Amino acid sequence: MTLSLTEVNALKRPPAVEGVLPVIHERWSPRAFSDREVSSADLHRIFEAARWAPSSNNEQPWRFLVGLRNTQTHSSIAAALAGYNHDWAPKAPVLILGMTRSRTVRRDAPNAYALYDLGAAMAMLVLQAQALGLATHQMGGFAHAAIRQSLGIPELWVFGSVTALGYQAEPAALASEEMIAREVAPRTRKPLSELAFTAWEEPATLGG
Amino acid sequence: MTLSLTEVNALKRPPAVEGVLPVIHERWSPRAFSDREVSSADLHRIFEAARWAPSSNNEQPWRFLVGLRNTQTHSSIAAALAGYNHDWAPKAPVLILGMTRSRTVRRDAPNAYALYDLGAAMAMLVLQAQALGLATHQMGGFAHAAIRQSLGIPELWVFGSVTALGYQAEPAALASEEMIAREVAPRTRKPLSELAFTAWEEPATLGG
């Protein structure tokens, strides 16, 4: 007996703070994905959202490899996932490899902000997905060299994440008790006093 | 005679795509900021939004130094801004230095995703600000060594951005014709065919 999808989403939601965007508070990273496909209209919307992210000098260094189920790209991405991720993520109908150009186009110089900008674009993407009723789960645990080789990606591009995208399923659909336990565990975050400071090691006092 | 604030915001908005979050399409990075202060309740909301960003192994490596006008932190951040940024950004009532922990807490190992995760948290922050009627402008052009020294920040922390936060002002409030021209120039982004691919160099066909 575990929590239902509705119950787990209620559990994962942080205490309400008036005025905070619902997509931000409601987003979390489930592991239980259903078979249901993502429409191409919704894929268009989520990449449109990523497209308008800001970037250093407007380089827009990000690039996304979109693996749809039953394609070589999906299976190559899935094959590169590290142990635990490999147990649940291949079931997601879409696996997105997020990469970023390590050198600027403008000056062909190292882009120190390439990964920062990719992280920002992916954040836009996951919030847009949330707004469409889709779930996302970004992963850092995958074999970079293996994925580079199997997909033929030049060294110029560095990897930032693999993201599972699809519709959330009931926690009970997961394959093991351990995964179910993780799925229904409360979310944790540091308090604001460990995030925002007015000077080095002086926490900011933020009104409620 | 230049565009008004209302006109410039209309100009900057991308062509509508049904279903895309308004905060994502409406956000852009102005340089004209008004004197109006940001309330501490709104500061609380925007850092609350950043707080719930996802991160690799939930490390939450980000940290923010919040410089409010007429503080040492604000002037130290402002002093480190590169030439062009220095001409407009110090007028913003809040300057935020975004930094990230270069080594994991869990294993004290290099965190390859530290900047990626900071970029994601800042994306949540800027969208939340947009939702509150505030404007943001992230900058990569600042003197990292100078800001580290003047604010006494250990090497463990690496910098990702300085962000100007406040209320948008009329473009005509900017100090030079060149700045006004930039402020009212249309936004540009690569087409989706240069972002999303189904295999290496095979653009995805995304429904509209």
**What distance in Å separates residue A36's CA from the closest CA in chain B?**
17
How many structural domains does chain A have?
Answer: 1
| Model confidence pLDDT, tens digit, residues A39-58 | 999 999 999 999 999 999 99
pTM for the model: 0.98
> So what's the ipTM on this one?
0.98
- Within-domain flag for B144: yes
| pLDDT for position B18 | 97
Backbone phi and psi for residue A110, each to the nearest 5 degrees, phi listed first = -55, 135
Give residues with Cβ within 8 angstroms of B151, minimum separation 6. A199, A200, B65, B73, B76, B77, B97
Question: Tell me, what CATH number does B167's domain have?
Answer: 3.40.109.10
Residue B195 with chain A: CB contacts under 8 Å: 47, 50-51, 60, 62-64
Name the phi and psi angles at B184, rounded to 5: -105, 10
> Which residue of B lies nearest to A55 if distances are taken between CA atoms?
B138
Q: Which two tokens stand for residue B111?
A: 């965190």
Q: Which two tokens stand for residue B66?
A: 């919040």
Query: Could you list the residue range(s) of the whole structural domain that residue B150 is in?
Result: 5-203
Q: Judge whether B21 lies within some domain.
A: yes
CB contact under 8 Å between A116 and B113, yes or no, is: no
Q: Do A115 and B116 touch (CB under 8 A)?
A: yes
Which pLDDT score, from 0 to 100, does residue B208 have? 53
Cβ of B115 within 8 Å of Cβ of A116? The answer is yes
The partner residues of A65 in beta bridges, in order of sequence, read A97, B197
Query: How are beta strands B62-68 and A196-199 bridged, if at all?
Result: parallel
Which residues of chain A from 2 to 31 reach within 8 Å of chain B, CB to CB? 14, 17, 19-21, 23-25, 27, 29
Eight-class DSSP state of B133: T
- Looking at every residue in chain A, the average pLDDT score rounds to 96
CA distance A195 to A52: 26
| Contact residues on chain A for B14, CB-CB shorter than 8 A | 52
Residue B2 has pLDDT above 90, yes or no: no
Please report whether residue A208 resides in a domain.
no
* Domain-embedded: residue B156: yes
| Mean pLDDT, rounded, for A9-29 | 97
Model pLDDT for residues B151-191, shown as the tens digit of each residue: 999 999 999 999 999 999 999 999 999 999 999 999 999 99
Residues of B in contact with A195 (CB under 8 A): 47, 50-51, 60, 62-64
B208 domain-assigned: no
Strand partners, B100: B62, B158
